[in-house]
Amino acid sequence: MVVNLYATFRLLAKVKSFPLDLPAGTTAMQAVQRIVELHPVLRSHWLNDAGELHAHVHMFINGHEVLTLPQGVDTALQPTDTLDFFPPVAGG
């Protein structure tokens, strides 16, 4: 699968996009855990002390926000999926 980082996440990790080789059926949360292993600088920005994804992290699977999917972060992934991560955005 392909992981795309945007805005401050991209700046922190110093990478725009990268392949993530995980077996079919891996959950979105397991993918997040693998990503923060590869890019530890993202851990405190993405996960709380309990290891849960912060509510302000917007994760998309193939263009669908993970929190709107029936299984949420337990959604099973396929090797052809694309994961996009956006930080919170504020403005006026």
Which one, of 85, 63, 67, 87, lies nearest residue 75 by Cα?
A: 67
Tell me the per-residue pLDDT of 51-91, one tens digit each, with 9 for 90 and over: 999 999 999 999 999 999 999 999 999 999 999 999 987 65
Q: Looking at residue 89, what is its pLDDT?
A: 76
Cβ partners under 8 Å of residue 67, min gap 6: 59, 73
Confidence at 8, pLDDT banded by 50, 70, 90: very high
Write down all domains in the chain, each with its CATH number in brackets: 2-86 (3.10.20.30)
Mean pLDDT for the chain? 95
Q: Tell me the whole-structure pTM to 2 decimals.
A: 0.93
